[in-house]
Each structure stands twice: as C-alpha cells, then as structure tokens.
Structure 1
C-alpha cells in the first residue's frame, strides 16, 4: 500500500500540473480573440495549432457564439450541435471562473469553457476539448500491472471520464490540485496472495534458512567467522550499488520536477509572445514586434531542450541536418553575455575564415558548446574564455579554453564519468552529457594535456555542405 500511495501522489502531482497549464492557454486565446474577433480568426487558429502540437491532450479549440446564426470557429471541424449547446450553456453559467463539463458525445473527454470577453457582455464561449486519458498518461510500468488501476472522474465523483475499479479494492482518492479542474483522481490495488508472498522472496527465504542450517551444523568457529566476513563484504557492495541507484533516481526526480516547473511559464511565454507578435503587426509598435520575435525564439529553444531531457533514456533521436558550428558558437556567446559581464569574464570567438558545417541536431550541438562555456565561466569569476575553430583534414576542431585554475589531477582520468565533479554544488552530469551527444554525432571530446589554459577539444566529422563552400 505504501508503494501505491507514493506512485499515486507522483501521478496526481503530474496531472495537476498539466491541468493548470490549460488556464494559461485559455487566457492567451481569449486575449487574441477579443483583439481580432471573427474577422481575424486566423490569428487564434495559428496559436491554437501551436498549442495542440505541443500539448496533444488538447484535441480541439473552439469558439461558439451565443447567437446560433453567427459562425463557429473550430480547429477540428465536426463539433456536434449538442456539444455547441453545452459550450454555450457553460459559458452563460460562468461569472468569471472557468467551467468544466463532460463531453456529450465523446467518451474519455471533457470540456473546459471560458466566456469571452470575460464579463457580463460576453457573446461567445471559448472551449478546450481535453483528452482525460492523456491527462493521466505515464510511462511508469507500475500502472501496467493487472492489479493496479486508476480512474479520473467529474468533480462530483459520479461520472468516470476514464478508468474503472473492481469491487474489494483499496486505494487512493484525491481531487486534482487545479482550481479550474478539480477532477477526482482515484487509484487502487487489488492485493492477492502473489503480492503478499512473491515466489522469488519465498524461495530466497527458504534458501537462506538452508544455508544458515548447514553453517550451524558444521559448528566450526573459524568457518563461521569467515562466512560472516564474506557476508559483510557482500552487504557493503550491495549498499554501494544502492547508493549509486539512489543518486540516479534523485537526478531523475530533479529533472522531471524541473521540466514540470518550467512547462507552465514556457507555455504562457510562447502563447502570449505569439499573440503579441501578431497584434504588433497590425499596430504601430514595430519595436514590440521585434522583442516578441526574440521571446518566441527563446521559448521555442527552451521547449526543444526540455523535450530532449524527457527523451534522455530513449533510443530515438532527432534527425541530423547540416548545421553551422560558428552559428552555435555565436548563439552561446549571446546567451551567456550577461552572465559573463556580471562575473567580470569575457567570451572571445576566434573562428575559421570559412563557414564550417557538421551533420547533427543544431540544438544538441549548441547544448554541447553551452555546457563547456558555462563550465569555463564557473571555474573563475574573471575567466577569459576563448572559442576557436579550425579544420584538420575531414574534421572540424572546436576548442573551448579558459584561464581558470584548471581540472584537479585526481579528476582528470574520470572527468567524463557521470556524477564526477569538482564543484561543491555540481551534479557531475554536464560533461557526461556532452560526451554522449558528441559520440552520437560521430565525434570525440577530450581534455587536452600540457596546455597553458584549460582546453576541451571537440572533433566532429565535416559535413558535405562545408566541402561544397
């Protein structure tokens, strides 16, 4: 039962965070519709398409007028008359708060409705159709066991949106921690004899009893001491392995928590920035359009990095393309310019005269350069960091050097191993990630010896595009 509670709390927290993201979507979409109206529905549909792409649990975005003679805006045509009536009913019922209701003709889905504009003068209902199954989707194999089940119901707990329970089960019950969508989240575990007495544990106990009996029968004190020492050595090795596994799990929890914490503000940044960009194009504030373009670009980049974080342990990777090594270096210089200025440091580029391209994922290449430069800045408050490129035969050579104190000798042989770090608050994953990404690009990364400055060298195969320059 303790394992069920822990797993349920984790999934409940994840589903609550996902539900909270819907509020930001509706706020952004409502602002766009109020500004552009039906005449500029293309603005709303473009932002809605972006939201659906990044959050596939939102199956459609719809704007339904109170007046049936007025046009309906739909991202996925085919909204039934009964559903349209339900959207208008929920919108009219609203006094400012979001309204939730079950889909009349689509199982496992529910409606989240906002009146627009959000006042007594509202004439439309803005509705998200949400797949309840995707809201509680998880990769944890615990929920694939036949004995485990979960259910998500309407706030009154009377109607199940997804899942079911069998009689005689015990479990966990708690509404989602979302003010607008307090759906009832319930889990259960059917406990059987195999759960109480797993065959493997029974056999282990029997084997242990037999070993103890045989050792007692010998009765030789010295032999018992030897066996006891061996047992202690095995336990110590096992404790070491468990400690390592705990650190790996802790890092997984940290990465998952960071992704979920960043997801909601990134959603609001992406939606509001796109809305601002479109509205600025229609007005006189041209500088606002430029600022919003930069905001959208950075939000998209952050979303790509988070996606790769989630796919860390999965074999599938993004398709490679010919990407510029110099562009990656310049982007990193721009991203870390403010941090370098605060620390009294400097980032200098010394790039090859010709453009250099490699075949890789541009975000992964930029991530490698970013991690190496960031490490160099952390090494010393006034570090002078230099990014150099040159060509050696069929290889692009990328060197990142700094004037910091250097890598301690005892760490050099293990510098690319996970959890090995010389920083008091470091995770020891940055260089391990760099090595993995570089090797997947077909290249090599190393720490150069006998150099005046601390220098990490990345060697990557030259793309055919560079040869054609």
Structure 2
C-alpha cells in the first residue's frame, strides 16, 4: 500500500500492526495529536484517546477480521483542551498493516443540539396538526352522516352514486385526519428485540409489494446483541424508511442511465454515541441505503417534518412517523444523500431508555 496519498487527506490516519501499535501516521494526524510521526510511531493507538478500553476492543476485533469497520465517538487531550472526535476502525485484508484508524474532529455539541432542535420542531408541528385534526374530525362525521340520510331519501337509486362519492371522500379524509393525529402516546411495550428479525420481516414485505422491481441486499453484523425496544413500533419505523426508498427507486427506474434499483440494509454497533444530550455506551446503527437519485435539495432540511414530500401522491407522513417512533426509544434518524447513494441511519441506544 502506497502511503503517500494519506498525506493529502484532511482527516487523521493511523496504520497499526496486529498489536495495535502505530506504524504510520499521516500529516493530519501530526496536526490533530500535536506530535511528530517519529513521536507517534510505536505508541499503542488506544492510549491516545480518553476511552482506551473501548477502542482497544475495536482494534482487536479489526485485527482478527471480526468486522470490516466500526465507528465510535471518543475524545482526546491536546494540551489543556478536550476534543470530541469520531473514530473509525477499519480492518485491512491482504495489506502490510491489518488495521487502519481514521479520526475526525467533530463539534459533538453542535450535532446533538441540531438533533434536539429537529425533534422540537417536529413535535411543535405535530401538536398543530393534532389540533387541526381535532377541529376537522367532527364536521367530517356530520358530513358523512348527512350523506347517508340523504341517500335513504333519494327517489331514484341511480342518484346514490353521488352520495357514495361524498361518503367515500369523507372516509378518505377521515383516514388522513387519523394519520395526522399522530401515534397514540401509549407506553412502549419494551422487550428484547432482534433487529435482524425486524429487517427480515421488512424485506419480506418490500419484496411482496415491489417484487423484482427492487433488489434487496443484507449486510448484517451477526454479533450484534438484542436491543430493548417496542418491536411493533421499530418494525413500522424501518418499514416506512425502506418503503419510501423503494417508492423513489421505482419512480426513477426507467430513467436513462439509472442503475438497477437496489436497497441495502446494514447493521453496525457504534460506541460512545450522544443522543438527546445523553451519552450511550453502545448504540445500534441500522442503515437503509439506496442507489436512487437522492433527496431533493429543497426539502432536505425539512424531510422529517409532517406533510413534506417530493413524490407525487405522497402524504409526507412516513418519515415523520418513523422519526417519532425512533425518538420514543431515545434514538434518532439521520441521513446523508447524494445522487446514487442515499443513506438513512436509525440510531438506537442498546440499553433501555427510561
């Protein structure tokens, strides 16, 4: 492996031996850790971070080939300053160095605040929608009832076609109002949940609905333990995100140059994750990745808000509801999108949230 290219990167890179000692550090690593390559060479990489035990476990697993990559949050000391960083440990097969560590400096507080602000905005909008739904519900019931009474008094059965239109439209609006009211805030039915069983059920439903129009791939971390959660709500959250991806893929399937539609469900364990201003030792990261055209730029900042959609005929409630269900578990859905790669990540704490 030619290491010259690593010096062109803005992120810190270490190449480690099988014992986790640094054999190579790029220029960005010298800047981030405030030490020269000569000083870094031979040091145990985990000792440079504030959470050495967790990172050492990741290094050992990578060296043993137990996983391809693992991401976790940590911090390091630079002088009197504590710096929040994102650390990715990567297993290198067939290379002179078995493990690579990439370290990015992040503004963790900014990330957490942005997530919390999103949650507060969505909840505020949901409250407005619940109030609106309550005001609309009673007139709709009266409208439907009046149409039924009118139908019973009509002189000609042929005229019932018009009252049936009124009744069916009232029923359709009633269903929409019920969805706008949002999920009922009942306590979570919390039990140990195998996230891969949920993924498989979602795959079965997607395949039944879209058949050969969308290909599904699995990339599971088989060593991931069960998490504490409400299986029904988690199932609905995952299904909403996956179905949304499938619907977008089907819409762009026949476009010139579009690749065969594909969705990947990937699970990974992240360590030291901050969610809603609370640090969790372990979190499940379920990524739903599609190769569609990407999320339109004009709705990216509002994609989890109710009634926001770019798809013709869409209600804009699926992703909002998914975010709500994940948030009830103390988690968060985040996403990144570019043409041919859109990834929604459902991040769920492994321990039960009280």
Is TM more than 0.5 here?
Answer: no
Q: TM-score, normalised by structure 2?
A: 0.45
Q: Which has the higher strand share?
A: 2
Q: Which has the higher helix share?
A: 1
Q: TM-score, normalised by structure 1?
A: 0.34
The structure having more radius of gyration, on CA atoms, is 1
